[in-house]
Each structure stands twice: as structure tokens, then as C-alpha cells.
Amino acid sequence: MQNRIEVGILGATGMVGQHFIRFLQGHPWFDLKWLGASDRNTGKKYRDAMTWHLAGGTPDTVADLTVQESKPGNAPKLVFSAMDAGVATEIERAFAEAGHVVVSNSRNHRMEQDVPLLVPEINPDHLRLVPCQRKARGWKGQIVTNPNCSTVVLTMGLAPFKPFGIARIVATTMQAISGAGYPGVASMDILGNVIPFIGGEEAKMEQETQKILGEFRGDRIEPLPARMSAHCNRVPVVDGHTVCVSVEFSAKPSLADLRHAIDAFTAVPQQRRLPSAPLRPVIYLEEANRPQPRKDADRERGMTASIGRLRECPVLDYKFVALGHNTVRGAAGAAVLNAELMHSEGMLDR
Ligand SMILES: NC(=O)c1ccc[n+]([C@@H]2O[C@H](COP(=O)([O-])OP(=O)(O)OC[C@H]3O[C@@H](n4cnc5c(N)ncnc54)[C@H](OP(=O)(O)O)[C@@H]3O)[C@@H](O)[C@H]2O)c1
């Protein structure tokens, strides 16, 4: 693409901000030109404003950019948000009001009735909420969000099964420490240990899953009418959230039906060949001991969800294991794919 679209990042100095910077390197459509952070860092060179935590060092393309105040005005129209949740509500709204397209990774607006909570392979039609949002709020811009990092893994794993009528879900996570940001959980707490609590995570997973798998009804999303229970655990894994899932259907399909549904699953991002879309959004691994975070989280640049161990469940109908990269498919990669979907709909031009 000759004329790439200039983009910015709010919260560029944080852990997720750094993942955005890395993921956007060499992007064929988006050209990262603007970095925002708190007043503490405004005016500094990016290299002096943060400590780079990811492999490979600070990319040269951003090291000398000057960190900007997080106020609308001189930022590009499209901004990705990786801001601290304590400040994201007001700042994202101010940007949307001023005409920016805010593609946010923060939790703040996800469950608002007129805000799309997108997984492009599952609910691209939820973008139809945007005109309602702009009308109701009088905004020239818009806010679109991606789910929590464990929710995206679960919903990608369930997506091929949606046509069979999902009635009940029990999901137990084993979540990587990178999902807690930096410095995250103290090493004394997590090494050789499991922490069976992640504040707010279970409620987020339950509500977000129902919204993502729900139906667009003109001006709102009707949640999936499935009962859902989540157990969320932090485990000593660096990258990759694993989710053990039991699922019940309104009419029980055969195991062969479900396997065929996984193998045949493809969606709008693949059909449109969006630059960050994996060739196969969901892949089934035949080995009895897969998926594993160390071996499978990075598949297709971290954008594919891996499923394995699909079998009968003696309590609900079937059970399986799903795995995805929490900071890529669960954060920066998810938001970039959302923006690519919006661009493919012409929504970045209007
Ligand atoms: N960590 C993950 O894997 C993960 C996964 C999914 C979602 N999330 C969500 O993503 C967001 C960022 O998480 P994180 O782990 O990257 O957090 P983080 O490392 O603490 O970074 C927070 C960012 O917000 C900026 N910020 C703080 N106060 C600000 C203010 N008053 N005005 C403007 N910017 C401000 C910080 O800038 P300064 O450096 O200048 O303070 C920094 O760039 C959070 O909402 C989190 O819930 C995180």
C-alpha cells in the first residue's frame, strides 16, 4: 500500500504499548507516527521515557519519537489505546468526541451497550453498533474494543461450535504471567506455584463471552443465552493462556460434526486477507498432550488459537483445551486486526 495510514498509540510506554509497537513494525497499511503517555513522560524521547521489556530492543523507528500529551489534537485519526484502566475512560472518550477512531485494548468501554467488543472472526457485524454510538453520544469519532486476553482464547475455541447452539459453558484458565503486565506478579508468589485468583477476571470472562457470541439487534447486542462459569488461575508460564472448557449444546452434535466444524472454520478476516489475519484462525492439534503454551502460543505470529483434546464430557456434552497468545491475540494483535477490519469496511475514511 503506497499511502499508509498514520496511526498513534495511547499508553505507548507501557507493556501493552510496547507490544503494539512491536506488532506494528513493518505493517503494510499502518504507519506508526505518534506515541502518547502520561504527563510524566510528555516531551521526552521515547527511548528515555520507558524501559523496553520485550525481546529485540526498542525499534529504531520509534526510539527518537517525542512522547506526546494524551490529548486529542495533533494525534493521527486512528489511535490504538493501551492506557492504564484508571485513566482510559475519560481520555478515550475525549479522543472519540474529537473525531478520532479509538481502537482500545483497555477494559473500560467493553461492556457499554453501544461499543463493539470485537473478535473479527466471530462478530464483525457488531461494528454496526458504531453509527448508534456516534448518534447517541454525538461523537465525530468512535470507540471499538477487543476482549480480555482469556476471553479471546475461549471465544475463538467456541466459535466453530456456535452454529450447534451453545447452552452451558464451564471454563478454567491457566493464565500466563505476561497477562499481568510489568512487573506483574512477584516471583516469590508465582514460581513453583498457582494463584487461584485474578481480580475481576471471572466476571469479565463470563460477561464478555456472552456479548461476543451474542447477536446484533439493530441498536444493541443480545447476549448469547448460555449459562457460563469461569475459574481463573495464574500459573508460572511466560506467554500463552490455556483454557480447559466443558460445553453443553441445545441439541448434542456428534464428535465428528464438531471436528469438521473446527477444520472448516474460516471467517471474514481470512476471506478479506487482512494483513494480521492468520491463515487458519483455529487449528486442531491431534497429539494427546497439546496444545502447550511453549510450543503452540506463537503459531501464525501468535494470532491463531490452538485446540486439542476434544472428547466427551460426562457432565456437560464435550470438553476440550484451547490456547492462545495473550499479549498478541489477547491484546495488541487483536486491536490491530480490529482496525484492519474497520479499514476493510471503509470505516477509517468516514
Ligand atoms: N498486560 C497485559 O497483558 C494486558 C492484557 C490485556 C489488557 N491489558 C490492559 O491494557 C492496558 C495497559 O496495560 P499495561 O500492562 O500495558 O499497563 P502499564 O504497563 O502500566 O502501562 C500503562 C500506560 O498508561 C499510561 N498512562 C498512565 N497514566 C496516564 C495518564 N494519566 N494519561 C495518559 N497515559 C497514562 C502509562 O504512561 P506512563 O509510562 O507515562 O505512566 C503507560 O503508557 C490496561 O488497561 C490493561 O488492563 C493489559
Residue 5 alpha carbon to ligand 1 centre in Å: 24
What is the predicted pLDDT for the residue at 2?
65
**DSSP secondary structure string, 229-261?**
EEE--B-S-SS-EEEEEEEEESSPPPHHHHHHH
Pocket test for ligand 1, best of 83, 93, 105 (most atoms within 8 A of CB): 83
Pocket test for ligand 1, best of 44, 81, 84 (most atoms within 8 A of CB): 84
Q: Which three cell numbers stand for residue 96?
A: 472519540
Q: Which three cell numbers stand for residue 151?
A: 476471553
Residue 85 alpha carbon to ligand 1 centre in Å: 7
CA distance 19 to 22: 5
What is the predicted pLDDT for the residue at 350?
60
Total-model pTM = 0.97
Nearest to 143 by CA among 86, 80, 82: 80
Residue ranges for the chain with pLDDT beneath 70: 1-2, 350
* 241 catalytically annotated: yes
* 260 catalytically annotated: no
Question: Measuring from each residue's beta carbon to the nearest atom of ligand 1, which residues come in under 6 Å?
Answer: 11-17, 37-38, 40-41, 70, 82-85, 87-88, 91, 105-107, 149, 178-179, 181-182, 326-327, 330-331
Residue 91 alpha carbon to ligand 1 centre in Å: 12
* Residue 126: count of CB within 10 angstroms of its CB: 21
CA distance 13 to 89: 18
Pairing of strands 78-81, 215-216: unpaired
What is the predicted pLDDT for the residue at 3?
87
